[in-house]
């Protein structure tokens, strides 16, 4: 039988009203009383009825995080960062995978689950600028993540894709690379991470007086390790000369590094490699991977803060804001020539 408020009050030796005040984080409670109640909650295994509480308060205490693909390490680590940031506001997070298709992203915006959350953090992969009006029809507060829709009807938190990839490419040039593979392009993309990172790569070459070579810009389907490995095999089979690789994310770079190791190509002596995202695995690869840390924790923290502000001001929401977090070049063994 589930524990009740009466059970907590009996074990803590306080009134039911005091237990309720602790659960709802009422500020004027003595520290020792609050601790007794919390200990009693843990002892009896009490779990608040969130549905009933939501009906009373008009809140569920739950926000939704819509991301393309949890197999992508960046998004799984972003989800963990969002959960930590949400916990600081006593919020739980419902994670939904869109699968990275336009149809599934639209379905996520219009689906019934939007009725059961207080707000949505939405990492867009396929929707574009022309789809911005769809966002205005969403009835719950929302904050956008990613690089597909700018100047939309809600807040937008993203990273400095162009500047970060330019810094990664410039770092390769600084350590002596002159023929640098750009791994991860999407040739038909005009807006999005791949387009912005290709632009940063091109800017770094131009600033250094190095030619932009089409054959060094390697397209991939998705941004997983498999794609990086397959693209690297194609590069090696083509006989293209190169001495550096800037992976448009860490997974692509790690896949490429695996193939280089299989072929006996030394890193960084023969080929220097830089990734983007600073996922946890980059600290333990052989060699450890130099990468761009895009400010993932800051993205999560600020996005949750903006969403909470919108949730608290639904009748008079703030004007749409756009926030770009700062990045850091993390130097490791893969470029330590």
Residue with more model confidence, 86 or 34: 86
Query: What's residue 124's pLDDT?
Result: 84
Model confidence at 112, in pLDDT bands (50, 70, 90)? low
Residue 127 Cα distances to 30, 109, 321, angstroms: 51, 11, 19
Model confidence at 301, in pLDDT bands (50, 70, 90)? very high
Residue with more model confidence, 289 or 36: 289
Contacts of residue 24, defined as CB under 8 A and 6 or more positions apart, other chains included, come to: none
Query: What's residue 25's pLDDT?
Result: 65
Model confidence at 24, in pLDDT bands (50, 70, 90)? low
The 10s digit of each residue's pLDDT in 226-261 is 999 999 999 999 999 999 999 999 999 999 999 999
Model confidence at 125, in pLDDT bands (50, 70, 90)? confident
The 10s digit of each residue's pLDDT in 96-108 is 888 877 888 888 7
* Mean predicted confidence (pLDDT) in 99-123: 81
* Mean predicted confidence (pLDDT) in 19-33: 77
Residue with more model confidence, 113 or 46: 46
The 10s digit of each residue's pLDDT in 255-284 is 999 999 999 999 999 999 999 999 999 999
Model confidence at 58, in pLDDT bands (50, 70, 90)? low
Packing angle of the helix pair 31-44, 16-23 (nearest 10 deg): 90
- Which domains occur in the chain, in start order? 5-48 (1.10.260.40), 60-158+296-325 (3.40.50.2300), 161-293 (3.40.50.2300)
Q: Which of 31-40, 47-56, 66-75 has the lowest mean pLDDT?
A: 47-56
Query: What's residue 337's pLDDT?
Result: 84
* Mean predicted confidence (pLDDT) in 75-101: 91
Residue with more model confidence, 34 or 194: 194
Residue with more model confidence, 192 or 287: 287
Q: What percent of the chain has pLDDT over 90?
A: 61
Q: Which of 55-69, 93-107, 153-167, 226-240 has the lowest mean pLDDT?
A: 55-69
Query: What's residue 289's pLDDT?
Result: 98
Q: What percent of the chain has pLDDT over 70?
A: 93
* Mean predicted confidence (pLDDT) in 307-324: 90
Model confidence at 291, in pLDDT bands (50, 70, 90)? very high
| Mean pLDDT of the chain, nearest integer | 89
327 vs 159: CA distance, rounded Å: 8
pTM of the model: 0.80
Residue with more model confidence, 6 or 249: 249
């Amino acid at each position: 039988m589930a524990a009740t408020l009466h059970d907590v009050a009996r074990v803590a030796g306080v009134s039911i009203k005091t237990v309720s005040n602790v659960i709802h984080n009422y500020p004027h409670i003595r520290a020792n009383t609050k601790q007794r109640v919390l200990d009693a909650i843990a002892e009896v295994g009490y779990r608040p009825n969130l549905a009933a509480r939501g009906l009373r308060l008009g809140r569920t205490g739950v926000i939704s995080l819509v991301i393309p693909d949890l197999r992508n390490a960046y998004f799984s680590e972003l989800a963990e960062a969002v959960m930590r940031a949400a916990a600081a506001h006593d919020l739980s997070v419902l994670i939904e995978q869109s699968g990275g298709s336009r149809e599934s992203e639209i379905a996520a915006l219009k689906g019934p689950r939007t009725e059961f959350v207080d707000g949505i953090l939405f990492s867009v992969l396929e929707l574009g600028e022309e789809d911005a009006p769809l966002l205005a029809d969403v009835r719950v507060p929302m904050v956008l993540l990613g690089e597909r829709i700018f100047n939309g009807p809600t807040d937008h938190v993203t990273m400095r894709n162009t500047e970060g990839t330019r810094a990664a490419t410039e770092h390769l040039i600084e350590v002596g690379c002159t023929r640098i593979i750009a791994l991860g392009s999407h040739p038909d993309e005009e807006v999005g991470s791949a387009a912005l990172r290709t632009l940063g790569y091109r800017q770094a070459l131009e600033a250094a007086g190095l030619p932009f070579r089409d054959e060094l810009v390697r397209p991939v389907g998705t941004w997983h390790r498999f794609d990086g490995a397959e693209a690297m095999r194609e590069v090696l089979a083509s006989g293209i000369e190169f001495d550096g690789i800037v992976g448009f994310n860490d997974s692509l770079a790690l896949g490429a590094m695996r193939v280089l190791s299989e072929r006996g190509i030394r890193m960084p002596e023969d080929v220097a490699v830089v990734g983007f995202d600073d996922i946890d695995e980059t600290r333990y690869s052989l060699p450890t991977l130099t990468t761009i840390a895009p400010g993932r924790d800051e993205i999560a923290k600020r996005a949750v803060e903006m969403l909470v502000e919108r949730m608290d001001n639904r009748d008079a929401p703030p004007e749409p804001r756009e926030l770009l977090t700062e990045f850091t070049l993390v130097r490791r063994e893969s470029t330590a020539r």
